Chain A
């Protein structure tokens, strides 16, 4: 049977870690959404050298482990674990979000851009006011999936002493010597976040499939 005194005795630490995990995932989501949008627009901009920068970023980052990036930001900068972790997660996730957004933009018919341009909007205006709002619908479910991945990947903060849920779990198991039960509770805390998110994304995907 599980030893619930581990949970009750260390509730503060668990909750502190839970809070850091939530905050880190959320900040990384916002930042990687901004960076990802920028890169997606770079990839489809009507200027080749800018395309190449965007493509190189996406292809390089997507094909290397996120832990390599997190270690790099941690060792190269002077940020402390949590900030380094958030930056690393942002750099990594932005590449995936850029791909999702690019797919969304590509799904808007070409005629929309042509119509917007010929009615006098600049490329940037057409993108912002015509194309992106239409792309959002298609982008939301993959964005949700990226948020789930972020919550799970935020556990890497533990490796650079980022103070997240996994990190607190490690501390608790080291001080109580009850590793098994501690990790089960850590897992339950993660599931509180990820299971509802998974169901939410599943629901959105179904709705989107129906509306098409």
Chain B
């Protein structure tokens, strides 16, 4: 039982409470970013799919640039560089803004390729039965595409939840941050604290990935 002793030592009521507080911040930041990036990503992905001259090309450049940058750079940039041009944000706001920028770009690609996977004949059929382009998109193409998009979108949400941990670099008091503090305070060694922190992330993400797998199987 020597192996478990350090774990039991760390798991006092106060420490668990402290970690859960951090976890609530993680979940809150993730949830807000998920909602915001779904809206923006959905809009951007649809606009790119619709091939509106100039707008679509411009969005393509922006999306490709953001997707190919490290999220850590975007977080640093939002929190440390933007104040230089007068945009000053609190830590949590900066974390949410940075995550939303990055994940919107990722989600917009999922949505665009989901829309692209629907046969073009569907649009033609919709248009020739008298619907206009927007109606065709929202009643014919979108509902079919959405079913295919759900699994990759859920995986992206899992990525987002994991990515919130990067905000420790700007001292967001999230799960990883609080874990680090406990590690420094208790001096109980690396393994117990980091295993517990990892398990907390794991439980939520694993549950999400199971849900995604179920949805995937349902479609086949």
**A183–B80 CA distance with the chains assembled, in angstroms:** 9
* Contact indicator A65/B163 (Cβ below 8 Å): yes
Question: What 0/1 pattern do residues 170 to 197 of A give for CB contact below 8 A with B?
Answer: 1001000011101110110011001100
Is the CB–CB distance between A67 and B168 below 8 Å?
yes
B81 within 8 A of A: yes
Contact with A along B10-21 (1 / 0, CB 8 A): 000000000000
Please name all residues of chain B whose beta carbon is closer than 8 Å to the beta carbon of A65 when the two chains form the complex.
162-166, 176, 201
Instruction: Indicate whether B132 reaches chain A with its CB closer than 8 angstroms.
Output: no
Shortest CB–CB separation between residue A194 and chain B, in angstroms? 4
Interface string of A28-67 (1 = CB under 8 A from B): 0000000000000000000000000000000110111111
Is B121 engaged at the interface, CB distance under 8 Å to the other chain? no
* Stretch of A8-16, A115-123, A126-134, A150-158 lying at the B interface: A150-158
Q: Determine if B85 and A63 form an interchain contact, defined as CB atoms under 8 angstroms apart.
A: no
A-B contact count (CB 8 A): 111
Interface on chain A toward B: helix, strand, loop, or mixed SS? helix
Is A155 in contact with B72, judged by CB distance below 8 angstroms? yes
Asked if A106 is at the interface (CB within 8 A of a chain B CB), the reply is: no
Q: Are A155 and B80 in contact (CB under 8 A)?
A: no
Q: What distance in Å separates the Cβ of A67 from its nearest Cβ neighbour in chain B? A: 5
In the assembled complex, B49 has its CB within 8 A of some CB on chain A: no
Contacts of B81 in A (CB 8 A): 173, 179-180, 182-184
CB distance from B182 to the nearest CB of A (A): 12
Asked if residues A187 and B73 are in contact (CB atoms below 8 Å), the reply is: yes
Contact of B68 with A158 in the complex, beta carbons under 8 Å: no
Partner of B165, one of A62, A67, A169, A173: A67
Q: Which residue of B lies closest to A67 (CB)?
A: B165
Given contacts A76-B190, A194-B68, contact A183 B176 (CB under 8 A): no
The reply to whether the CB of B56 lies closer than 8 angstroms to some CB of chain A is: no
B contact residues around A178 at 8 Å (CB)? 84
Select which of B70, B73, B76, B202 is within 8 A of A63 by beta carbon: B202
The 8 A CB mask of B137-174 against A (1 = contact, 0 = none) is: 00000000000000000000010001111101100000
Q: Are A190 and B158 in contact (CB under 8 A)?
A: no
* A155 / chain B contacts, CB cutoff of 8 Å: 70, 72-73
* A190/B69 in contact, CB under 8 A: yes
How distant is B218 from chain A, measured CB to nearest CB, in Å? Answer: 20
> Complex Cα distance A66/B176, Å?
11
- Are B190's CB and A75's CB within 8 A? yes
B residues near A186, Cβ cutoff 8 Å: 73
A20 to chain B, nearest CB (A): 14
Decide if A86 is an interface residue (CB 8 Å cutoff): no
Within 8 Å of chain A (Cβ to Cβ): is B197?
Answer: yes
Output the nearest chain A residue to B191 by Cβ-Cβ distance: A76
B96 close to chain A: CB less than 8 A: no
Residue from B71, B76, B191, B197 in contact with A170 in the complex, judged by beta carbons closer than 8 Å = B76
Q: How far is the CA of A76 from the CA of B72 in the complex (A)?
A: 23
A112 vs B194: C-alpha distance when bound (angstroms) = 44
Query: When the two chains form the complex, which single residue of A59, A66, A72, A156 contacts B190, counting CB atoms closer than 8 Å?
Result: A72
Please give the residue numbers on chain A whose beta carbons come within 8 Å of chain B beta carbons, in ascending order. Answer: 59-60, 62-69, 71-72, 75-76, 148, 151-156, 158-159, 166, 169-170, 173, 178-180, 182-184, 186-187, 190-191, 194-195, 198
A-B contact pairs, 15 of them (CB 8 A): A63-B209, A64-B201, A67-B165, A71-B194, A152-B69, A152-B71, A155-B73, A158-B72, A180-B82, A191-B65, A191-B68, A191-B69, A195-B64, A198-B67, A198-B68
